[in-house]
Each structure stands twice: as C-alpha cells, then as structure tokens.
Amino acid sequence: MTDPLANDMLRAYSLPDVAERLDVSLKTVRRMIDAGELKIFRPHRNGRTVRVSERSLRDLFAHAA
C-alpha cells in the first residue's frame, strides 16, 4: 500500500501550473511564496527551476479552511 503523504512530496508543480490550479496570476503565486504561504524547492542543486509540492498546496488549503 502506498503512503499518500509520500506521494504528495513526490508530486510537484511549476509556478504557472500552481497559478492555474489556484486560478490566480503568476505574480500572485510569487507574492504567496515571498509571504511564506507557499513553500518552494529546487529540483536541481544549481538550477533556477523551482517547484511547489502537492504537500505545500494541501497545507495552503488547510490554513484557508
């Protein structure tokens, strides 16, 4: 049986994908990151690419409820 929380950590979304899922602008997603409402990670050590985990999105929704 697969642990659903482990799967949440493996699923990750680009910032444009997060904006689409939340139905907000990319600028709003960046503001949420700057405010600490969304946590990001870099999948490559020296890369510029950032991702938001499924877990971070779930935490955002939990605080909104």
- Residue carrying structure tokens 């991702």: 51
Q: Which tokens in the block code for residue 39? A: 């946590």
**What string of DSSP letters covers 1-65?**
---HHHHHHH-EE-HHHHHHHHTS-HHHHHHHHHTTSS-EE-SSTT----EEEHHHHHHHHHHH-
Provide the domain count of the chain: 1
Side chain identity at residue 46, one-letter code: N
pLDDT tens for the 65 residues of the chain, in order: 555 555 555 799 999 999 999 999 999 999 999 999 999 999 988 889 999 999 999 999 998 87
**How much is the pTM?**
0.80
CA–CA gap between residue 20 and residue 28 (Å, rounded): 11
Name the residue range of residue 28's domain.
4-64
CATH number at residue 26: 1.10.1660
